[in-house]
Amino acid sequence: MKAIQVQKPGGPEVLTLVDLPVPTPKPNEAIVKIAAAGVNFIDVYFREGRYPTPLPFVDGQEAAGTVTEVGADVKSLKPGDRVAYTGVMGAYAEYAAVPADRLIRVPEKLSDQQAAGAMLQGMTAHYLIHTTYPLKKGETALIHAAAGGVGLLMVQMAKNLGARVIATVGSAAKAKLAKDAGADDVIIYTEQDFEAETKRLTAGAGVHVVYDGVGKTTFDGGINVLRPRGYMVLFGGASGPVAAFDPIKLAQKGSLFLTRPSLAHYIASREELEQRASDVLGWIADGKLKLRIEHIYKLADVQQAHRDLEGRKTTGKLVLVP
């Protein structure tokens, strides 16, 4: 089978197309013939070595496809079942061996590309909005990178709960996408100081929560726009890692909360995984949540997909097709 292997940490050029044997399932695994794989910033972090993992490895943690074979202990799935998953390394390939308890059945209404595009970013938006800081009707949230894959889904979920959304984006075209997703106010951070503008939009009161997947360039400003006892939810570092931070600042700025969550800890149990995936895939199938698939790349073009993602040139979701 064709697969994209990382043999040493580095830039997009280390993503290498190779031939590998089709995997055989362990007793608790199913083999999935991958129809579509999602491209995510966590793939970049593993490729760069920011998240160390034994080399060589096949990158990618999100995919959808069809079960072709199951291990001896697997009773919940059979060949022919359409499934999707996230959080298991090895998705940039034609086949993957996946623990059966990590696989979610795909609703008939959804395509493989929709399912692959929804798992990681959809469940990330879900846990951030519904669990890490459970947003409530009437509260105000600042959402950075609101035209990105996670951002567009977060805006919609926040609005479905009745919250006010202040969104930041990098261009007028992205501002339109955020506005169309439901954002109440949109700040183009390349033209306006988002900190000053957020304070103006909230009449100096600040926001209840900042959802920040950007990191280095937005963190300090985000801390400064929180109201007392507000939440800084730092869930990514698209602009790079945040500099060393003295927790005393949290007290000085109003007894703030700071958390650095990860999806893995919010879908650790089968019950929680099923609940989040069922909500997200169900909402997309029912039209309550719009998933924007920005670009579909061939597996061999994965280097370009990573360059586009890291260059902040994209909106919505990027998908690889073997």
Is residue 72 exposed (0-12), middle (13-18) or buried (19+ Cβ within 10 Å)?
A: exposed
Kindly report the pTM of this predicted structure. 0.92
Contact 236, 216 (CB under 8 A): no
Question: Under 8 Å CB-to-CB from 108, ≥6 apart: which residues?
Answer: none
* DSSP-derived 3-state class of residue 300: helix
Instruction: Give the count of beta carbons closer than 10 Å to the beta carbon of residue 202.
Output: 18
Position 238 scores a pLDDT of 81
User: What's the confidence (pLDDT) of residue 41?
Assistant: 87
User: Token pair for residue 303?
Assistant: 């280097």
Report CA torsion sign: 110, 236, 87, 322. Answer: positive
**In order of start, what are the domains of the chain with their CATH numbers?**
2-120+270-321 (3.90.180.10), 137-260 (3.40.50.720)
For 170, what's the count of Cα atoms within 13 Å in the CB-facing half-sphere? 13
DSSP 154-179: HHHHHHHTT-EEEEEESSHHHHHHHH
> Any idea which of 188-192, 214-218, 279-283, 311-315 has the lowest mean pLDDT?
311-315
Token reading at 54: 């034994």
- The pLDDT assigned to 192 comes to 96
**pLDDT the model gives residue 294:** 83
The per-residue pLDDT for range 206-253, each reduced to its tens digit, is 999 999 999 999 999 999 999 999 999 999 988 888 999 999 999 999
